[in-house]
Copies of this chain bind each other. A is one copy, B any other.
């Protein structure tokens, strides 16, 4: 868990929003067609729609979030779903509390 790396990710409004939206997928995204749950998170397309940014930008963002271990990707067919990595997020919050 690299605090500096995580803070870099979290120094962009869109990336923070993505992380927040993923707390409540059913509130922030339409239901998926092929599956009826958000157990593995939300597909890239929905996240892109919500932000209004380009597909490649969102992919880059999600990749940076994944590198910082803030999200976990899961492939289902042609879709990639992203969900929060709650363990790392929890550890990050605790580190901020204790060290800052």
CB-CB contacts below 8 Å: A8-41 with B: 8, 10-13, 16, 19-20
Specify how many copies of this chain sit in the oligomer.
2
By a CB distance below 8 angstroms, the chain B residues around A11 are 4, 7-8, 11
Task: Write out the residue numbers on chain B whose beta carbons fall within 8 Å of the beta carbon of A96.
Answer: 93, 96
Near B by CB (< 8 A), chain A positions 68-100 give 89, 92-93, 96-97, 99-100
What are 19 A-B interface contacts by the 8 Å CB criterion?
Answer: A3-B10, A4-B12, A4-B13, A4-B16, A7-B7, A7-B8, A7-B10, A7-B16, A8-B11, A10-B100, A11-B11, A16-B100, A19-B100, A20-B99, A20-B100, A89-B100, A92-B100, A93-B97, A96-B96
Q: Beyond A7-B16, A92-B100: 16 further Cβ-contacts under 8 Å?
A: A3-B10, A3-B16, A4-B10, A4-B12, A4-B13, A4-B16, A7-B7, A7-B8, A7-B10, A10-B100, A19-B100, A20-B99, A20-B100, A89-B100, A93-B100, A97-B97
